[in-house]
Structure 1
Amino acid sequence: MWWRKSREAKFDNEVQRYITKHSDFIFIKFLGYGSYGRTYLVEDVSSHKHYVLKCLRPKHRRSNKTKHKFMQEIQILEQLTLPFVPSIKMTGILLDMPYFVMDYVDGQTFEQLIFDDGQKFKITEALSITQQLLTQVISLHNKGIVHRDLRIPNILLVEGNLHIIDLGLATYMKEVDFATIRNPKRAENHISDLYFVGHFLLFLLYSTYEPTSRKEKSWQEELSLPAEVVSYLERLLCINEPFQSAAEALQSLPIKK
């Protein structure tokens, strides 16, 4: 609604004034927002290094459940010490809202690469990138963390290396019976991340697709893929028997070793 957007735009201005007046950072610009938080690019006054400040959205001010989720993101980021995930620099309270400052990853998301830059990925390239992503997913899972939002806006390419951002939906991994899963996206185990990896791979493969008909078809019909790639995707997307772990998905990747 317009009034909500207006209220959050006002909050952005208040954040800018607060940072300018009270912190060791210089406000650069508003970056964007997600389900729980709003993010801003800031610069450290002494080092001139850029960071991202993430603050809980004002509409969640009175939601204890959402505040708990936001604080869990902080806890998870503080727990993780992985080179492809941003590290937290500091935490605090800003305008009565919890916030944290983390590393700024200066790269391009795959959403930007595909839709803004028009970059195209051949099958071998797409599978190679997926191989790197699965390796990182395994590292997260080994820490007991499932990301649950591995979409193309949350995966960046920096000098040939992938970086994973936005752990707002991340949670601690649980033992979940696949038969009880109604929505793979929300599963609190490996199924969720592999499901998103499947869609990520599809976006890469569709980057070279040129439609020849207005009739809507399934991806199996539209994309000219080797049978082993189709089978692999169907397992990631839970169309057929899903993988038991990210490690199994990596081992089964149809890529020439």
Structure 2
Amino acid sequence: MAANADEAARAEPSLPSGWAGESRARARLGTTLNGKWHLDALLGYGGMAVVYAATHRNGKRAAIKMLHGELRDRPALLTRFRREGYLANRVRHPGAVSVLDDDVSEDGAVYMVMELLDGTSLEDLRLSRGGVLPLDEALDIVDAVLDVLVAAHAQGIVHRDLKPDNVFILRDGQVRVLDFGIAGLREEAQAPKVTLTGAFMGTPGYMAPEQARGLWDLVDAQTDLWAVGATLFTLLSGECLHKGRSLNEELLLAMTQPVPDARTLLPSLSGAMGQWLDRALAFEKDARWPDARTMQLEGRAARQRASSPAPAPEPNARRRPAALAAALLALAALVAAAALVALAAFRRDPSHIDPAPAAAMHQEPTEDAGAPLAQAAPSSPAPPLATEPVPPPLSLPMKPKPRAAAAKLPAPAVGSSTPALPFDPLGSRK
């Protein structure tokens, strides 16, 4: 689509063949509306209006969107035409085209003054590239459209006619969403007749099932998200999702036929991107993305996953669990062995036994080393051995102490009535 008068003169769009308003539309070129707006060039046309490039008497450039003359006497369409400006300005997002003014010419033509865009429609861009766009470029554009929808839906505005023709790409790559002419407000869902009278609502190839069926109480933000998914499909495949031999057949397909899995239709899509697109194009609303922001963020995440290479498996990765288990068993065995050594050393060390009771079991040797040892009297029973306590856990083994060569028994008590008897190794007493 041409963006200024010079380009428009070189690439003037062709108007519908046999259209009754063609001669009138061309006849307006070079005229001035209300003594203010000079019509410089014909930029395009739509089902409701013709668009001109114009220059204000103060030198400001703008686009003039003028309602077809044969529609000016239809109040519902006139209301819908004017409301486009009110809704577009209500979005309050740079991606929505600003509407500066609306007025009626001296001969009764209703028009709006809009921001003049320098670039091309997404549909023209797609066709100029052979019908398809690279995946990254298409995803960038769709992400920008979703950003506009986040703002529009927050204001209760549902576009209801998203498609490549209604997306505009500026020369610097910025994205604009056009034609809020059939946009609706959620509060009007129960009474949509003002936008339905005498006009077809939407484009079958980009219609969600509920919109194709005319169930306007069900048409909402998720309906727009379906259209975004359908737009992306067209950008990547060069085809519409619903292709029929007539408008009615396309509508019937849109009403009744679920979309096949995205990767069936677009094998080049990654699994993550295919699942993301499948959810946008789900037949049932409950299965779609809940809102534009969620769809936008999940699309970015899927795109990141698709672009990140899978980590290469490390060598001998499968042997790791067995090697780890063997190492743990070896460590456990080492700890157990250290514990046994510590316990054995502890038991060999008599320092933990109370020496006083044990000494009662022995007698002191006499001064003569060769003299026999004396045995304690039978009438004086020996006290019991002290119970060996359970050794506490030790962190280091204790060094065993050497045992005494000969234990000593206490000497007989002074004044004892039982004299000590010498011990006879042959069992006899002297």
Task: Report TM bin, short chain.
Answer: 0.7 to 0.9
1:36: Cα distance to partner?
1.9
CA distance in 1, matches of 2:133, 2:213: 26
Within 2, Cα distance between the matches of 1:63 and 1:196? 29
Give yes or no for contact 2:91–2:151 (8 Å, CA) kept in 1: no
Aligned to 1:214: none
- Report which stretch shifted further, 123-132 or 158-167: 123-132
Instruction: Decide which of 183, 196, 199 is 2:230's aligned counterpart.
Output: 199
Higher strand share: 1
How far did residue 115 of structure 1 move? 0.5
Q: Which residue of 2 aligns with 1:30?
A: 42
Q: Percent identity?
A: 22
State whether structure 2 residue 295 is matched by structure 1 residue 249.
Answer: yes
Given the superposition, is the C-alpha separation of residues 96 and 14 from structure 1 closer, same or farther in structure 2, using an over 3 Å criterion? farther
* Pairing 1:195-234 to 2, within 5 Å after superposition: 195-206=226-237, 220-224=263-267, 225-234=269-278
1:181 aligns with 2:210: yes
Contact 2:131 2:235 in 1 (8 A): no
1:74 is aligned, of 82, 85, 88, to 85
Shift, 1:151, TM fit: 1.0
Q: Name the CA distance, whole Å, in 1 between partners of 2:121 and 2:98.
A: 18
Q: How many Å apart are 1:201 and its aligned residue?
A: 1.0
Shift, 1:175, TM fit: 9.0
Q: Residue 52 of structure 2 contacts residue 64 of structure 2 at CA under 8 Å; is this kept in 1? A: yes
**How far does the alpha carbon of each residue in 1:101-120 deviate from its partner, in whole angstroms, 9 at most, with x for none?**
11111112221221124485
Match of 2:212, as an amino acid? N
Indicate the structure whose relative CO is greater, using CA pairs within 8 Å and at least 6 residues apart: 1
Distance 1:153 1:44, change over 3 A: same
1:137 lines up with 2:163 in the alignment = no
| Paired residue total | 243
Question: Residue in 1 aligned with 2:127?
Answer: 115
Question: For the residues of structure 1 that align with 2:146 and 2:88, how far apart are their CA atoms?
Answer: 19
Unaligned runs of 5+ in 1: 208-217
Instruction: Please name the residue that 2:396 is paired with.
Output: none
User: CA-atom RMSD, angstroms?
Assistant: 3.1
Q: What is the CA distance between 1:62 and its match in structure 2?
A: 2.3
> What is the distance in 1 between the residues matched to 2:113 and 2:144?
27
Contact map agreement 1:175 1:189 (CA 8 A) in 2: no
Q: 2:295 is aligned with what amino acid? A: A
Q: CA contact under 8 A between 2:163 and 2:231: conserved in structure 1?
A: yes
- How do residues 16-165 of structure 1 correspond to structure 2 at under 5 angstroms? 16=29, 19-20=31-32, 22-47=34-59, 49-94=60-105, 95-118=107-130, 121-158=133-170, 159-165=172-178
Return closer, same or farther for 1:245/1:26 CA change in 2, 3 Å cut-off: same
Give the TM-score normalised by the residue count of structure 2: 0.50
> What do the CA deviations read for 1:182-230 (whole angstroms, capped 9, x no partner)?
52897641122112111121122226xxxxxxxxxx6643421222322
Which of 1 and 2 has greater Rg?
2
SS in 2 for 1:239: coil
In 2, Cα distance between the equivalents of 1:125 and 1:193?
21
Distance 1:192 1:143 in 2: 16
The CA distance in 2 between the partners of 1:76 and 1:181, in whole Å, is 23
TM-score (norm 1): 0.81
